Amino acid sequence: MNVIVCKNYDEMSACAAEILAAQIKEKPNCVLGLATGSTPEGMYANLVAKNKSGEISFADVTSVNLDEYYPLEPTNEQSYRYFMNYHLFDHVNIDKAKTFVPNGLAADPAKEGQDYDAMIDSLGGIDLQVLGIGRNGHIGFNEPDSYLIPGTHVTDLTPSTIAANARFFDSEESVPKKALTMGIGTILSARKIILMVSGADKKAAVMKLLEGNITTECPATFLNVHKNVTLIVTEDAIDR
Ligand code: PGA
């Protein structure tokens, strides 16, 4: 695993944006796997600036997002579709018809998961997947468990994830209890992966990942089987 240690959040954000920009320049019609949460917000701000300055164009880019709450309307301000529009899509020259987020209102969420993976396959797969990590080691909404599911699927959120995400909602009770998420296999099928991590509260999960073993109790450790992962981490989230 490549590890890039950054001084702070801003440096991590700029570094990740550089990697995405390089991907877009190398392959203008690439498929980007995108993530939500506090961690990538600064990266998106950098990408918007690079688009506005003319350094990069999203005209031919396709995006597929990692996950979405279930059930939740895409117009809800806490939905990940709303997040993506707000932080990136509304500010760059991307064709929104080529931006995909799992449908938080799907009548049949199991089928939505299967269709989502088939859609990714039909795009030729993901060139570069962006990930954050949960304090409990989750990636996407693949939560610690006795087993993990390879494909995109509907999952129950753990109490710790509901509590961590309650800061975005009016109350803990209003956080959806389920989500649609790419599975570990969907994530690992990306050709390149960057994992962004900021903050001392993520250090335990990062150090578990860097031990190099694989356990379903820390889903991020599955990244150890992938050949092209770059961890971009702030110095307070890693012991050296
Ligand atoms: P955060 O979430 O970026 O809001 O910390 C990351 C995650 O839970 O995967």
Q: Measured from the CB, is residue 42 less than 6 Å from ligand 1?
A: no
Give me the DSSP letters along 132-198. Answer: ---TTS-BTTB---SS--SS-EEEEPPHHHHHHHGGGSSSGGGS-SEEEE--HHHHHTSSEEEEEE-
- Given 68, 112, 117, 143, the catalytic residue: 143
Average pLDDT over residues 167-171: 91
Contacts of 174 (CB under 8 A, 6+ apart): none
Q: Look at residue 114 and tell me if it is in a domain.
A: yes
Contacts of 77 (CB under 8 A, 6+ apart): none
If one residue of 39, 181, 236 were mutated to test the ligand 1 pocket, choosing by the most ligand atoms within 8 A of its CB, it would be 39
Is 138 designated active site? yes
Strands 178-181 and 153-156: antiparallel
Q: Look at residue 206 and tell me if it is in a domain.
A: no
- Given 68, 138, 142, 165, the catalytic residue: 138
Closest ligand 1 atom, CA of 196? 3
Is 87 designated active site? no
pTM for this entry = 0.97
Average pLDDT over residues 129-146: 97
Q: Look at residue 74 and tell me if it is in a domain.
A: yes
Backbone angles phi, psi at 217, to 5 degrees: -75, -10
Is 143 designated active site? yes
Average pLDDT over residues 26-34: 99
Residue keyed to tokens 């449908």: 103
Q: Look at residue 64 and tell me if it is in a domain.
A: yes
Q: Look at residue 224 and tell me if it is in a domain.
A: no
Closest ligand 1 atom, CA of 139? 9
Q: Measured from the CB, is residue 130 less than 6 Å from ligand 1?
A: no
Q: Look at residue 84 and tell me if it is in a domain.
A: yes
Q: Measured from the CB, is residue 134 less than 6 Å from ligand 1?
A: yes
Give the per-residue pLDDT at 230: 98
For residue range 198-238, list pLDDT tens digits in order.
999 999 999 999 999 999 999 999 999 999 999 999 999 99
**Chain centroid, CA 82 distance in Å:** 15
Give the per-residue pLDDT at 20: 99
Asked whether the beta carbons of 66 and 114 are under 8 A apart, the reply is no
For residue range 87-134, list pLDDT tens digits in order.
999 999 999 999 999 999 999 999 999 999 999 999 999 999 999 999
Residue nearest to atom 2 of ligand 1 (CA): 37
Q: Look at residue 159 and tell me if it is in a domain.
A: yes
Is 136 designated active site? yes
Residue 76's domain is classified under what CATH number? 3.40.50.1360
- Coil/strand/helix, residue 35: coil
Average pLDDT over residues 19-37: 98
Average pLDDT of the residues of the chain? 97
Give the per-residue pLDDT at 184: 98
**CA 14 – CA 20 distance, rounded (Å):** 10
Radius of gyration of the chain (CA): 17
Asked whether the beta carbons of 141 and 157 are under 8 A apart, the reply is yes
- Report the helix count and the strand count for the chain, using DSSP H and E: 7, 10
For residue range 54-66, list pLDDT tens digits in order.
999 999 999 999 9
Q: What percent of the chain has pLDDT above 70? A: 100
Look at the chain and report how many structural domains it folds into.
Answer: 1
Domain of residue 56 covers 2-201
Q: Look at residue 9 and tell me if it is in a domain.
A: yes
- Given 51, 65, 67, 127, the catalytic residue: 67
Report CA(14)–ligand 1 centroid distance (Å). Answer: 18
**CA 43 – CA 36 distance, rounded (Å):** 11
Q: Measured from the CB, is residue 37 less than 6 Å from ligand 1?
A: yes
pLDDT band at 240 (very low <50, low <70, confident <90, very high): confident
